[in-house]
Amino acid sequence: MNPRRLVTIAAVLMGLTVAACGNGETAPEVSDQALAPSTLAPVVETSTIPAETTTVVPAPVTMSLAFAGDILIHSQVWKAATVNAGGSGYDFTPMFARVKPLIEGVDLAICHLEVPLVALGEKPTTNPLYSAPTEIAWAIKEMGFDRCSNASNHSFDKGVKGIEATLNEFDALGLGHAGMARTPEEIEPKVFDVKGIKVTHLSYTFGFNDISAPNGETWRSALIDPARIIADAQKARDMGANVVIVSMHWGRETQTDLSDFQLTNSDAITKSGLIDLVVGHHAHVVQKIEQVNGVWTVFGLSNLISYLPTTDAFPNKTQDGMIVTTNITLNPDGSVQVEQPVVYPTWVDKKNGVVVRPVLTDLLDPAVPDDIKAELNISLERSRAVVGEFFAAAS
């Protein structure tokens, strides 16, 4: 037994004995419980050490994007689609098969449908008032596009019927859209999710070929107006958008040089700090890419598909186009980075049933005929003169 414990017990017994002697009574018996170690153990102070905490910093999130030029369906294009379908109906999918790999692999692919779709029970029409077979929407979906901009100078070509036919078909296929509306609410900014990034896509046009809004309903499509675009972008931000992309139908047809309208409006909207990327259509030729107020601006993608030149007014360069890709990263602090765009030049082959050809890929394909390669080389040099510094590496 511990000597210190013995001394303590002895002292207790002695005290009891003395007390008994002092009052003449017998000293009470000391129980085992009174001597139990638990009652005699010294008090030990303890302290609690807080567990270490770990702060998890979210990783940046990156999404890949692709954009293509005007889908402009002339009668020659839909007639070729009828041939593809065996003489009845329309099959546009073979026309895009060669560029499909550039579209289907990205997280967000946006096309530009320049014309409305044909209303139920009506036949497609061509210039000057367009309406395309609804089967083109299926081809757009099958190619891998997620949505399209729809505001163009042809938005009102078929009035309310054309707008409703277009958007009803898009909804049925699960394709997103911006720039046309069935209700006043539909023209307002919307926010959608891509890999956890909140995105808004807006679409505007310079005009409607002097066609008045159906029934005076000016909300049916959206005109280019910097004040409105900035206000819409702010609405989108207020709704939680991390990224705002703006499609602009602008520029002078067949002119590679930028117009004052393009320069003025691109400056006005990008210096707001609310827009992350601007993508342009309408000129039907490739136009330059540059940063405006730090915002990448693709001024003119030209055409993805059309049958231009349909007259002498449209030169061969209207067969040139480009699919542009980029990556957008959302950082944990909420800031956004847009990578330098990458250009994949395209060319519309009207000699083989109307086919959109990826120029760089087909130039390396031994199965492509030499006469087509000669055309591709000419197209390549035209596009290189405008956006060559952005070309993807040939593979």
pLDDT in tens, the chain (395 residues): 444 333 343 333 333 333 333 444 333 444 444 444 444 444 445 555 566 667 777 899 999 999 999 999 999 999 999 999 999 999 999 999 999 999 999 999 999 999 999 999 999 999 999 999 999 999 999 999 999 999 999 999 999 999 999 999 999 999 999 999 999 999 999 999 999 999 999 999 999 999 999 999 999 999 999 999 999 999 999 999 999 999 999 999 999 999 999 999 999 999 999 999 999 999 999 999 999 999 999 999 999 999 998 778 899 999 999 999 999 999 999 999 999 999 999 999 999 999 999 999 999 999 999 999 999 999 999 999 999 999 998 76
Q: Which of 386, 313, 299 is nearest to 69 (CA)?
A: 299
Q: Which residues contact 285 (CB under 8 A, 6 or more apart)?
A: 254, 255, 256, 300, 302, 317, 318, 320
Query: How large is the C-alpha radius of gyration of the chain?
Result: 36
**Every domain of the chain and the residues it spans:** 3-40, 63-390
Concatenated DSSP letters of 36-73: -HHHHSPP----PPPPP--PPPPPPEEEEEEEEEEE--
CATH number for the domain whose boundaries are 63-390: 3.60.21.10
The rounded distance, in Å, linking the Cα atoms of 339 and 392 is 13
Sheet holding 295-298, edge to edge: 192-194, 197-205, 243-249, 277-281, 295-298, 289-292
pTM of the model: 0.86
β-bridge partners, 112: 70, 149
Q: Which residues contact 92 (CB under 8 A, 6 or more apart)?
A: 77, 81, 84, 133, 135, 136, 138, 139
- Provide the angle, in degrees to the nearest 10, between the axes of the packed helices 135-143 and 159-173: 40
The rounded distance, in Å, linking the Cα atoms of 297 and 387 is 12
249 neighbors 302 (Cβ within 8 angstroms): no
